[in-house]
Amino acid sequence: MINILIVEDEKPISDLLRLSLKKAGYVCHCVYDGLAAADAVEKEEYDLILLDVMLPGISGFELMDYLREQGAPVIFITAKNAVSDRVKGLKMGAEDYIVKPFEVLELLARVEGVLRRHGKLATVLHVGGLDINTETMQVSRDGENISLTRKEYGILLLFAQNPGIVLNKSTIYERVWGGEYPDSTRTVELHVQRLKKKVGWNDCLKVVFTMGYRLEV
Protein backbone atom coordinates (compact mmCIF):
# COMPACT_ATOMS: atom_id res chain seq x y z
CA MET A 1 0.00 0.00 0.00
CA ILE A 2 1.14 3.55 -0.77
CA ASN A 3 1.66 5.54 2.46
CA ILE A 4 1.16 9.33 2.20
CA LEU A 5 1.86 12.00 4.82
CA ILE A 6 -0.42 15.07 4.66
CA VAL A 7 1.03 18.19 6.32
CA GLU A 8 -1.77 20.77 6.29
CA ASP A 9 -2.88 23.02 9.17
CA GLU A 10 -6.37 23.76 7.78
CA LYS A 11 -8.40 20.76 8.94
CA PRO A 12 -11.16 20.98 6.27
CA ILE A 13 -8.50 20.85 3.53
CA SER A 14 -6.60 18.10 5.36
CA ASP A 15 -9.82 16.07 5.64
CA LEU A 16 -10.61 16.60 1.94
CA LEU A 17 -7.13 15.39 0.98
CA ARG A 18 -7.33 12.38 3.28
CA LEU A 19 -10.80 11.28 2.12
CA SER A 20 -10.00 11.76 -1.57
CA LEU A 21 -6.74 9.84 -1.36
CA LYS A 22 -8.30 7.11 0.78
CA LYS A 23 -11.02 6.56 -1.85
CA ALA A 24 -8.24 6.21 -4.44
CA GLY A 25 -6.70 3.42 -2.37
CA TYR A 26 -3.92 5.27 -0.54
CA VAL A 27 -3.10 5.10 3.18
CA CYS A 28 -2.85 8.58 4.73
CA HIS A 29 -1.49 10.07 7.94
CA CYS A 30 -2.33 13.70 8.77
CA VAL A 31 -0.32 16.18 10.83
CA TYR A 32 -0.99 19.88 11.26
CA ASP A 33 2.36 21.62 11.80
CA GLY A 34 6.00 21.38 10.80
CA LEU A 35 7.31 19.89 14.04
CA ALA A 36 4.74 17.11 13.93
CA ALA A 37 5.76 16.40 10.33
CA ALA A 38 9.43 16.10 11.35
CA ASP A 39 8.45 13.70 14.13
CA ALA A 40 6.28 11.65 11.74
CA VAL A 41 9.02 11.05 9.16
CA GLU A 42 11.41 9.97 11.92
CA LYS A 43 8.98 7.29 13.07
CA GLU A 44 7.69 6.00 9.74
CA GLU A 45 8.62 5.81 6.06
CA TYR A 46 6.33 7.54 3.55
CA ASP A 47 6.04 7.11 -0.20
CA LEU A 48 4.92 10.73 -0.70
CA ILE A 49 4.50 13.90 1.36
CA LEU A 50 1.88 16.57 0.60
CA LEU A 51 3.23 19.70 2.23
CA ASP A 52 1.55 23.05 2.86
CA VAL A 53 3.89 26.04 2.72
CA MET A 54 2.23 28.25 5.32
CA LEU A 55 2.40 26.17 8.50
CA PRO A 56 2.46 27.26 12.15
CA GLY A 57 5.95 27.23 13.67
CA ILE A 58 8.12 25.92 10.84
CA SER A 59 7.06 26.75 7.27
CA GLY A 60 6.96 24.18 4.52
CA PHE A 61 9.92 25.85 2.81
CA GLU A 62 11.94 25.66 6.04
CA LEU A 63 10.94 22.03 6.51
CA MET A 64 11.83 21.02 2.97
CA ASP A 65 15.58 20.58 3.52
CA TYR A 66 14.94 18.16 6.39
CA LEU A 67 12.29 16.18 4.50
CA ARG A 68 14.48 15.90 1.40
CA GLU A 69 17.08 14.03 3.46
CA GLN A 70 14.45 11.40 4.29
CA GLY A 71 14.08 10.49 0.62
CA ALA A 72 10.30 10.78 0.16
CA PRO A 73 9.11 12.90 -2.80
CA VAL A 74 7.26 16.10 -1.85
CA ILE A 75 4.37 17.95 -3.47
CA PHE A 76 3.75 21.48 -2.17
CA ILE A 77 0.09 22.42 -1.69
CA THR A 78 -0.38 26.11 -0.97
CA ALA A 79 -2.33 29.30 -1.55
CA LYS A 80 0.93 31.08 -2.50
CA ASN A 81 0.52 31.26 -6.27
CA ALA A 82 3.27 33.71 -7.22
CA VAL A 83 5.63 32.39 -9.87
CA SER A 84 8.58 33.16 -7.60
CA ASP A 85 7.12 30.90 -4.87
CA ARG A 86 6.53 28.06 -7.32
CA VAL A 87 10.04 28.36 -8.70
CA LYS A 88 11.45 28.44 -5.17
CA GLY A 89 9.56 25.29 -4.18
CA LEU A 90 10.65 23.39 -7.29
CA LYS A 91 14.27 24.50 -6.93
CA MET A 92 14.23 23.24 -3.34
CA GLY A 93 13.53 19.76 -4.69
CA ALA A 94 9.72 19.45 -4.66
CA GLU A 95 8.30 17.19 -7.35
CA ASP A 96 5.27 19.40 -7.97
CA TYR A 97 3.48 22.52 -6.72
CA ILE A 98 -0.34 22.65 -6.49
CA VAL A 99 -2.10 25.94 -5.82
CA LYS A 100 -5.29 26.12 -3.73
CA PRO A 101 -8.12 25.86 -4.56
CA PHE A 102 -7.56 22.70 -6.60
CA GLU A 103 -9.71 20.07 -8.27
CA VAL A 104 -9.55 16.64 -6.62
CA LEU A 105 -9.05 14.89 -9.95
CA GLU A 106 -6.09 17.13 -10.77
CA LEU A 107 -4.57 16.41 -7.35
CA LEU A 108 -4.98 12.64 -7.84
CA ALA A 109 -3.44 12.82 -11.31
CA ARG A 110 -0.42 14.75 -10.00
CA VAL A 111 0.00 12.35 -7.06
CA GLU A 112 -0.15 9.42 -9.45
CA GLY A 113 2.40 11.06 -11.76
CA VAL A 114 4.92 11.58 -8.96
CA LEU A 115 4.46 8.06 -7.60
CA ARG A 116 4.90 6.60 -11.07
CA ARG A 117 8.12 8.57 -11.66
CA HIS A 118 9.48 7.13 -8.44
CA GLY A 119 8.45 3.58 -9.31
CA LYS A 120 6.03 3.30 -6.39
CA LEU A 121 2.86 2.39 -8.29
CA ALA A 122 2.00 -1.20 -8.98
CA THR A 123 1.85 -2.05 -12.68
CA VAL A 124 -1.24 -4.20 -12.11
CA LEU A 125 -4.42 -2.76 -10.60
CA HIS A 126 -6.97 -5.12 -9.04
CA VAL A 127 -10.32 -3.34 -9.20
CA GLY A 128 -13.87 -4.64 -9.48
CA GLY A 129 -12.78 -8.20 -10.22
CA LEU A 130 -10.43 -7.07 -12.99
CA ASP A 131 -6.66 -7.24 -13.36
CA ILE A 132 -5.48 -4.13 -15.23
CA ASN A 133 -1.85 -4.08 -16.36
CA THR A 134 -1.00 -0.40 -16.85
CA GLU A 135 2.22 -1.18 -18.73
CA THR A 136 0.85 -3.60 -21.34
CA MET A 137 -2.71 -2.17 -21.27
CA GLN A 138 -4.05 -5.73 -20.90
CA VAL A 139 -7.27 -6.29 -18.97
CA SER A 140 -8.41 -9.67 -17.69
CA ARG A 141 -11.00 -11.27 -15.44
CA ASP A 142 -10.35 -14.69 -13.88
CA GLY A 143 -7.36 -15.12 -16.18
CA GLU A 144 -9.26 -14.43 -19.40
CA ASN A 145 -8.21 -11.40 -21.44
CA ILE A 146 -10.85 -8.78 -22.33
CA SER A 147 -10.44 -6.96 -25.64
CA LEU A 148 -11.01 -3.20 -25.32
CA THR A 149 -10.57 -0.29 -27.69
CA ARG A 150 -8.09 2.39 -26.71
CA LYS A 151 -10.91 4.74 -25.66
CA GLU A 152 -12.61 2.02 -23.61
CA TYR A 153 -9.32 1.25 -21.88
CA GLY A 154 -8.81 4.96 -21.13
CA ILE A 155 -12.27 5.19 -19.54
CA LEU A 156 -11.70 1.97 -17.59
CA LEU A 157 -8.38 3.21 -16.20
CA LEU A 158 -9.93 6.56 -15.23
CA PHE A 159 -12.61 4.83 -13.16
CA ALA A 160 -10.18 2.26 -11.73
CA GLN A 161 -7.87 5.00 -10.48
CA ASN A 162 -10.74 7.05 -9.03
CA PRO A 163 -13.10 4.60 -7.28
CA GLY A 164 -15.93 6.19 -5.35
CA ILE A 165 -15.52 9.55 -7.12
CA VAL A 166 -18.22 10.90 -9.41
CA LEU A 167 -16.83 11.54 -12.90
CA ASN A 168 -18.99 13.69 -15.15
CA LYS A 169 -19.15 13.30 -18.92
CA SER A 170 -17.08 16.40 -19.66
CA THR A 171 -14.27 15.22 -17.35
CA ILE A 172 -14.24 11.77 -18.99
CA TYR A 173 -14.20 13.29 -22.46
CA GLU A 174 -11.44 15.76 -21.65
CA ARG A 175 -9.23 13.10 -20.01
CA VAL A 176 -9.76 10.35 -22.61
CA TRP A 177 -10.47 12.14 -25.89
CA GLY A 178 -8.76 15.44 -25.13
CA GLY A 179 -10.27 18.84 -25.84
CA GLU A 180 -13.54 20.38 -24.74
CA TYR A 181 -16.65 18.22 -24.34
CA PRO A 182 -19.22 18.84 -27.13
CA ASP A 183 -22.69 19.00 -25.55
CA SER A 184 -24.39 17.49 -28.60
CA THR A 185 -22.50 14.17 -28.52
CA ARG A 186 -23.51 10.93 -26.76
CA THR A 187 -20.18 9.24 -27.37
CA VAL A 188 -19.29 9.09 -23.66
CA GLU A 189 -22.58 7.38 -22.75
CA LEU A 190 -22.20 4.86 -25.56
CA HIS A 191 -18.59 4.03 -24.64
CA VAL A 192 -19.46 3.65 -20.95
CA GLN A 193 -22.37 1.31 -21.75
CA ARG A 194 -20.18 -0.88 -23.98
CA LEU A 195 -17.42 -0.90 -21.39
CA LYS A 196 -19.79 -1.97 -18.58
CA LYS A 197 -20.96 -4.98 -20.60
CA LYS A 198 -17.47 -6.01 -21.70
CA VAL A 199 -15.87 -5.97 -18.24
CA GLY A 200 -18.91 -7.04 -16.19
CA TRP A 201 -19.37 -3.77 -14.32
CA ASN A 202 -23.15 -3.46 -14.81
CA ASP A 203 -23.71 -3.63 -11.05
CA CYS A 204 -20.82 -1.50 -9.81
CA LEU A 205 -20.49 1.31 -12.39
CA LYS A 206 -23.43 3.47 -11.35
CA VAL A 207 -25.14 6.39 -13.04
CA VAL A 208 -25.33 9.38 -10.67
CA PHE A 209 -28.38 11.35 -11.81
CA THR A 210 -27.53 14.69 -13.49
CA MET A 211 -23.90 14.33 -12.39
CA GLY A 212 -22.14 11.45 -14.14
CA TYR A 213 -20.84 8.00 -13.16
CA ARG A 214 -19.28 6.46 -10.07
CA LEU A 215 -17.44 3.15 -9.66
CA GLU A 216 -18.58 1.48 -6.44
CA VAL A 217 -16.24 -1.33 -5.41
pLDDT at 187 over 80: yes
> In this predicted model, what pLDDT tens digit does every residue of 157-176 receive, in sequence order?
999 988 888 999 999 998 89
* Cα–Cα distance measured from residue 136 to residue 123, given in angstroms and rounded to the nearest whole number: 9
Task: Tell me the domains of the chain and their CATH numbers.
Answer: 3-117 (3.40.50.2300), 150-215 (1.10.10.10)
The pair phi, psi for residue 191, each rounded to 5°, is: -65, -40
> In this predicted model, what pLDDT tens digit does every residue of 20-73 receive, in sequence order?
998 887 899 999 999 999 999 999 999 999 999 999 988 999 998 888 777 889
Q: For the chain, where are the alpha helices, taking DSSP H only?
A: 11-23, 34-43, 60-70, 83-91, 104-117, 150-160, 169-176, 187-199
* Cα–Cα distance measured from residue 35 to residue 57, given in angstroms and rounded to the nearest whole number: 7
* Cα–Cα distance measured from residue 214 to residue 79, given in angstroms and rounded to the nearest whole number: 30
Rg (CA), the chain: 19
